[in-house]
Amino acid sequence: MDNPIDLIASLGVVPVIAIEKASDAVPLADALLEGGLPVAEITFRTAAAADVLAAIRDARPELCIGAGTILDKDNLKRAVDSGARFGLAPGYDPEIVDAAKAAGLPFCPGIMTPTDLTQATARGVRLAKFFPAGVAGGPKALAGIAAPFAHLGVRFIPTGGVTEGTIGEWLAIKQVVAVGGTWIAKTEDIREGRFAEIAKNAAGAVKAAREALEKRA
């Protein structure tokens, strides 16, 4: 699929990854692909993020890569230059939203309250990250926040506190495009080379998301 958001929506889950070394980029990509999960959000929580994106872009172009934790325009540019096909942020910054639009990068800013979402939708945002999803009240909270904005066609990617066991609850909400999962490829698993475990986690997440999407249909 040419549109990364369509791909994410078809899968129902995107792994959220903080990776410390660019040398682990290709083994990570291979593990995700082995698990049937051809998408990854590489967060700018580590200094290696841009190099990781570029390494995956060059070696495993079949993996759709995005950049997370984009907090400033410098990292937005680095993400785009390194091959990111989509971007996300934990909060809403209108300058970043505008810069992403100018760069042609599908971008998903974070929201937690109706006020956040009011400001974001006024700027044209129609895909938002609900973060931190667990702390913010879980699926019931998102359903309540989303209701007054339904006529605008706003969709969401809840992230933070989501688990394989709760994927079904989140995807039962029709406005949810996909969930973000930090459990799929944990930093410590990457650091210790537990790529078989990551592949297993990816496969489990894909299965749970597929079953939830089938129920919703």
Residue 167 is assigned to a structural domain of this protein: yes
Residues in CB range of 152: below 8 A, 6 or more apart: 121, 126
Residue 140 is assigned to a structural domain of this protein: yes
When the pLDDT of each residue in the chain is averaged and rounded to a whole number, the result is: 97
Please spell the DSSP secondary structure of 65-111, one letter per residue: EEEE---SHHHHHHHHHTT-S-EE-SS--HHHHHHHHHHT--EE-EE
Strand partners of residue 108: 88
Phi, psi of 49 (to 5 degrees): -50, -50
Cα 158 to Cα 178: distance, rounded to the nearest angstrom: 7
- Residues labelled catalytic: 41, 129
pLDDT (mean) for 28-42: 98
Identity of the residue numbered 23: S
Q: What pLDDT, on the 0 to 100 scale, is given for residue 209?
A: 98
Q: What pLDDT, on the 0 to 100 scale, is given for residue 1?
A: 56
Q: Tokens at residue 28, please?
A: 């990570």
pLDDT (mean) for 189-195: 98
Residue numbers of the domain that contains 202: 4-211
Residue 216 is assigned to a structural domain of this protein: no
Q: Tokens at residue 62, please?
A: 């079949």
Cα 37 to Cα 14: distance, rounded to the nearest angstrom: 8
pLDDT at 217 over 90: no
* Contact criterion met (CB below 8 Å) for 100 and 127: no
pLDDT (mean) for 148-172: 97
What's the domain count of the chain?
1
pLDDT at 2 over 90: no
The pTM of this model reads 0.97
Q: What tens digit of pLDDT does each residue of 96-125 get?
A: 999 999 999 999 999 999 999 999 999 999
Residue 28 is assigned to a structural domain of this protein: yes
Strand partners of residue 49: none
Residue 217 is assigned to a structural domain of this protein: no
Q: What tens digit of pLDDT does each residue of 42-86 get?
A: 999 999 999 999 999 999 999 999 999 999 999 999 999 999 999
For residue 132, say if its preceding peptide bond is cis, omega within 30 degrees of 0.
yes
The enclosing domain of 51 has a CATH number of 3.20.20.70
Residue 32 is assigned to a structural domain of this protein: yes
Strand spans (E) along 24-170: 39-43, 64-68, 87-88, 107-108, 110-111, 127-130, 155-158
